[in-house]
Chains A and B, each alone.
Chain A
Amino acid sequence: KNQVEQSPQSLIILEGKNCTLQCNYTVSPFSNLRWYKQDTGRGPVSLTIMTFSENTKSNGRYTATLDADTKQSSLHITASQLSDSASYICVVARPNSGGGADGLTFGKGTHLIIQP
């Protein structure tokens, strides 16, 4: 069964500290892996997208890693800010075969709270 598991479920850290969020997946075949940031009650906003051949990608203070062999990804946030408080969702995409589903499997997200 195609699944995306994220850990921890929630995390509280102090402003200025670093943190790492984890994503393990069993989705196959694999097309790409995406990390989204979702503020409460808002739509997800893309942070990074990585294909099979990419093992790291950065977007400002966000750095995502991918190990396609072990089917693991992480999102590292450096020097956290209050505005980083949000849910971070890992999404794994299969090649879109054109029917049945849209090929995206979502994790439940990690709820991150940054405290001053």
Chain B
Amino acid sequence: ETGVTQSPTHLIKTRGQQVTLRCSSQSGHNTVSWYQQALGQGPQFIFQYYREEENGRGNFPPRFSGLQFPNYSSELNVNALELDDSALYLCASSQRGLGTEAFFGQGTRLTVV
């Protein structure tokens, strides 16, 4: 176990709805990154939070947003869900710095119908 927990593990939503996914980072880690992984593909970077501020963003529209809390846990919010948003959403926690390991949670499987 990595010490990174995500909730919920599975979720089914209807197109147009909004969803919030949660991630508790590993103790001592101050950086959380979120990824979207479609079936058969590698994870795609959504954004990263460092000390409660967005620290970098991938090629995702503004309806993907996030938060990081003082305890370094994080949320990923997706508005106006589309069918293509169906994927495994992964969060990874790390301690910012060169060569640091990133530990992944078990993921949240989101299905949009």
Contacts and interface: CB of A to CB of B under 8 A. Distances in A.
Given A32-B99, A41-B88, A108-B41, A99 B106 contact: no
Contacts of B101: 34, 46, 49
A89 B58 contact: no
Interface size of A as a range = 20 to 34
Nearest to B10: A41
Contacts, number: 67
A10 to B, nearest CB: 10
A89 B56 contact: no
B56 A101 contact: yes
B99 A31 contact: yes
B2 A106 contact: no
B42 A100 contact: no
Classify chain B's interface size. Answer: 20 to 34
A45 interface: yes
Nearest to B42: A106
B73 to A, nearest CB: 16
Contacts of B14: none
Given A44-B90, A89-B42, A108-B42, A102 B104 contact: no
Contacts of A106: 42-44
A42 B68 CA distance: 23
Contact of B56 (A32, A41, A51, A100): A100
A49 to B, nearest CB: 6
A40 to B, nearest CB: 10
A51 B90 CA distance: 24
A93 interface: yes
Contacts of A31: 98-99
B56 A99 contact: yes
17 contacts: A31-B99, A42-B106, A43-B6, A43-B105, A43-B107, A46-B103, A89-B42, A89-B43, A96-B96, A96-B98, A99-B55, A99-B56, A100-B57, A101-B48, A102-B48, A104-B45, A106-B42
Given A49-B101, A89-B42, 7 more contacts: A43-B4, A45-B2, A93-B99, A101-B57, A102-B48, A106-B43, A108-B40
